[in-house]
Structure 1
Amino acid sequence: MFKKLFGKKENVEQLLAPMNGKIVKMEDVPDPVFSGKLMGDGIAILPEEGLVVAPIDAEVVQVFHTKHAIGLKTKSGIELLMHIGLETVNLKGEGFEVHVAEGQRVKAGDKLVTFDIEFLKSNAPSIITPIVITNGELVEKVEKTDSTEATINETEIMSIALK
């Protein structure tokens, strides 16, 4: 189960699973950019279906034209990148459908992206989906779930304490 070391403080953000699947440590993502945390720390999920929802109330700050990634910013300023699959930028948007626009406010559980999971499995090296905190300089500590399974909009995957 998830350890709530921080309690309910105002400077702590709780992220819920944006998809159903197997939780994978960032260090185990088969891409050195993510496993080396070059873009930031986080967690990854190996999805069971082609649905990505908002893990937290936030503003959509970036929708990649290739539809494979979404950037979110929480009210407290935490910036998240959800990158669906590895090297999926090369698919040039094929297999993805985006349901939000830049500047849109979303609530935890709102549908962000749907994707053809079988198409991705056949055309990308991996469908693993990293969820990365891209502005780690604002973060004091990240507590990650010790669960191995993610249930969409239920499993708390990360608790992020701000400086």
Structure 2
Amino acid sequence: MFKKLFSKKESVEQLLAPINGQVINIEDVPDPVFAGKMMGDGIAILPEEGLVVSPIDAEVIQVFHTKHALGLRTKNGIELLIHIGLETVNLKGEGFEVHVAEGQRVKAGDKLVTFDIDFLKSNAPSIVTPIVVTNGELVEKMEKTNNNQATINNTEIMSVYLK
């Protein structure tokens, strides 16, 4: 009995804020793909500065060649998409610097991407940054923060409970 209790994987993943800024409900993101949760459920943050860190210990599973988004996978298999700004794919990498590579293991708080926030404000429809779970079939429930403001590596933005 004890062996079963201690060998069972954790059933919750707690994500810390990857960006400093204002928390926005995913349904309020001014993009129908994210607002309609077509990419997955989560939250969004309106950044105050151009730094994105890992919200959890994970593996980098995808770095978009346009540097505007990346994918992470946690130890329990939850896959996250961090998408910096809206329609920023059209910037073709300009204004972004990626600090990680696919296959790299990262810890919560490790620097993932830096970006020129003023450049994005001038050249993208929005800098709002969705953070979504893309494989929702593994999720039993999700609790999202009630905080209006997120602080990097401090504010818990989501608790994801696994099935």
Moved over 2 A (4+): none
The aligned runs of 1:4-153 (5 Å cut-off) are 10-153=10-153
Distance 1:138 1:13 in 2: 12
- For structure 1, list consecutive stretches of 5 or more residues without a partner in the other structure: 1-8
SS at match of 1:55: coil
Distance 2:132 2:33 in 1: 11
1:112-149, CA deviations, whole angstroms, 9 ceiling, x for partnerless residues? 00000000000000000000100000000000000000
1:62-106, CA deviations, whole angstroms, 9 ceiling, x for partnerless residues? 000000001000000000000000000000000000000000000
SS at match of 1:76: coil
Q: Give the TM-score of the pair, scaled to structure 1.
A: 0.94
Q: Percent identity over the alignment?
A: 83
Q: Give the TM-score of the pair, scaled to structure 2.
A: 0.94
Distance 1:99 1:56 in 2: 16
Distance 1:155 1:70 in 2: 21
Distance 1:62 1:10 in 2: 24
Q: Larger C-alpha radius of gyration, 1 or 2?
A: 2
1:5-40, CA deviations, whole angstroms, 9 ceiling, x for partnerless residues? xxxx92100000001000000000000000000011
Paired residues, what number?
155
Distance 1:74 1:30 in 2: 28
SS at match of 1:67: coil
Q: Which amino acid aligns with 1:27?
A: E
- How much is the aligned-residue C-alpha RMSD, in angstroms? 0.7
SS at match of 2:119: helix
